[in-house]
């Protein structure tokens, strides 16, 4: 049995592929076998990591439109995986289509129940809520995910890259606690560290180069090593704490 991690959010540019990369590296660091699938038809960021085992699923037809039937290849890959964890990175442009495909075919139930020649798998849906101007859009994505898949476990990632994640209605409650109370399907919440000044520059260079933390560590200056190591230690500690890998 594997744990399949779907990264789903209808807003683009909020850190979905970054989170997919973090999950992949965490699984490796914790000694778990892992593979990934990239279904983003426009920006196949995860597939650009040379250090990862990633299968790119082409979901476009000859006209450049998304062909839902091409997600069949993804399901076959997931069903017969031999790894302990599979990371599925999906783009904002295919968020609606993949969601409809999964829901209409009851795909998650099929993957969880298993078949005659393959074992059932655990499913986790990961989504991102950001600070700044994208807060409401990403909250809408969370709401849509929880509404469409009410019986599925959701892992919430709070990304403060664009500003502190806050909702006026939360009052003095931590945002993760407030959202978890409003969305019972949230089983874990991870708040990414704030990245300011040099920390932000280090992380941005690493992500733009599609490097892992280990690869970046081998190429940057001593001070950058320290900053990236501190960031990664916090991420790995949080992923371990919520027990999703």
Q: At what angle do helices 95-104 and 135-148 cross, to 10 degrees?
A: 10
Contacts of 205 (CB under 8 A, 6+ apart): 216, 220
Percent of the chain at pLDDT exceeding 90: 78
Q: How much is the pLDDT for 178?
A: 84
Q: What whole-number distance in Å separates Cα of residue 46 and Cα of residue 19?
A: 10
Average pLDDT over residues 1-13: 94
pLDDT digits (tens, 9 = 90+) for 177-198: 888 888 999 999 999 998 877 8
How do residues 226-243 score in pLDDT, each as one tens digit? 999 999 999 999 999 999
Which domains, ranges and CATH numbers included, belong to the chain?
Answer: 3-195 (3.40.50.300)
CA–CA dist 69, 67 (Å, integer): 5
Contact assessment for residue 190 and residue 156, using Cβ atoms and an 8 Å cutoff: yes
pLDDT at 199: 79
Distance CA 118, CA 241 (A): 30
Query: Which pLDDT band holds residue 132 (cuts at 50, 70, 90)?
Result: confident
* Confidence (pTM): 0.94
Confidence at residue 187, expressed as pLDDT on a 0 to 100 scale: 95
CA distance 147 to 145: 5
């Amino acid at each position: 049995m594997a744990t399949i991690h779907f990264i789903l959010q209808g807003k683009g540019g909020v850190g979905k592929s970054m989170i997919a990369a973090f999950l992949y590296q965490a699984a490796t660091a914790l000694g778990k076998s892992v593979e990934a699938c990239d279904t983003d038809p426009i920006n196949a960021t995860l597939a650009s990591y040379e250090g990862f085992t990633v299968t790119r699923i082409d979901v476009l037809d000859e006209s450049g439109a998304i062909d839902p039937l091409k997600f069949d290849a993804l399901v076959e890959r997931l069903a017969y995986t031999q790894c302990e964890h599979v990371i599925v990175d999906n783009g904002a442009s295919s968020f609606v289509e993949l969601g409809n495909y999964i829901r209409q075919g009851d795909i998650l139930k099929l993957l969880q129940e298993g078949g005659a020649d393959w074992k059932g798998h655990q499913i986790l849906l990961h989504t991102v809520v950001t600070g700044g101007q994208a807060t409401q859009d990403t909250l809408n994505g969370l709401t849509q995910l929880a509404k469409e898949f009410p019986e599925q476990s959701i892992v919430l990632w709070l990304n403060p890259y664009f500003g502190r994640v806050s909702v006026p209605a939360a009052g003095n409650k931590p945002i993760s606690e407030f959202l978890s109370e409003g969305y019972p399907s949230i089983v874990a919440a991870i708040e990414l560290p704030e990245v300011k000044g040099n920390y932000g520059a280090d992380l941005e260079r690493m992500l733009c180069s599609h490097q892992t933390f280990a690869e970046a560590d081998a190429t940057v200056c001593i001070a950058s090593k320290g900053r990236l190591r501190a960031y990664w230690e916090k991420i790995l500690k949080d992923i371990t704490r919520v027990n999703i890998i």
